[in-house]
Structure 1
Amino acid sequence: MILIFKYIFPKRYVGLTLWPVIILKENRLKEDDVLINHERIHLKQQLELFILPFYIWYLIEWLIGVMLFRNFNEAYRNISFEKEAYQNERNLNYIKERPFWGFLSYLF
C-alpha cells in the first residue's frame, strides 16, 4: 500500500517505509519505479527481521554511524539496509533474486 504525506519529510527525503506501508512525499512519485523498488527492498528487509527488530537494528546502526562519521547523512548512507537498497534499487528484479538476509553482505 502506498500513501502520500508531504508534510512529514525533511527536504531531501521523498520516501519512507513503515511496514506494511510505503509513504511518499508526492503523488507523482508513485510512478518512480526505482524509488518504489528501493522502498520494496525495505519492506522485504523488515519482513525478514519480523519488523520490530528491523527498526531496532536500523537505529543501532545509525547511532554507531553518527558516532563514527559525525554526520547524520553519512551515518544514514552507511546503514546496511540502505546500502543494499541503494545499490540494488535500479535492478527491478532484485526482490525476486535477492538472497535471504541479503543486507548482511553490506554490513562492513
Structure 2
Amino acid sequence: MGLQMLWSFFGLAYMDGYALSRKRDLQNPVLFSVLVVGDWVTDMLSLTVVCSLAGVIVFYEKDIKFCKQHDYVDNPCIRFVISVALAFITWVLIAISSHVMFWTLASV
C-alpha cells in the first residue's frame, strides 16, 4: 500500500505539476498508457497484499485457533479482520480507478 501511495500521490502529482509548469497537455497516448500500466501494476500488487492478509486471518482463526484464546474485548483478531476488510474496500476503489483510467486511455 506504500507503493500505491507513492505512485498515486508523488508520481501523478509530479506529472501534473510538470505539465502545468511546462504548459503541456497530458493527453499524450504514450504517457497516458504509462499511467494506465502503472495503475494496473499497483492494483494487482494491492490485490495480492489483501489476499495474503486474508490468508493470515484464516490461518489464525481456523487453523491454529488463536482468536478463540482471547476475550472479545482483548481480542487482537477483531482489529486485524477490520483492517483486512478496509484493505479490500481500498482495493475495490483502486480497481475502479484503474478501470476508469483504461477507458480514458481508449478515448485519448
TM-score, reference length from structure 2 = 0.25
Structure scoring higher RCO (CA < 8 A, sep ≥ 6) equals 2
TM-score, reference length from structure 1 = 0.25
More helix by share: 2
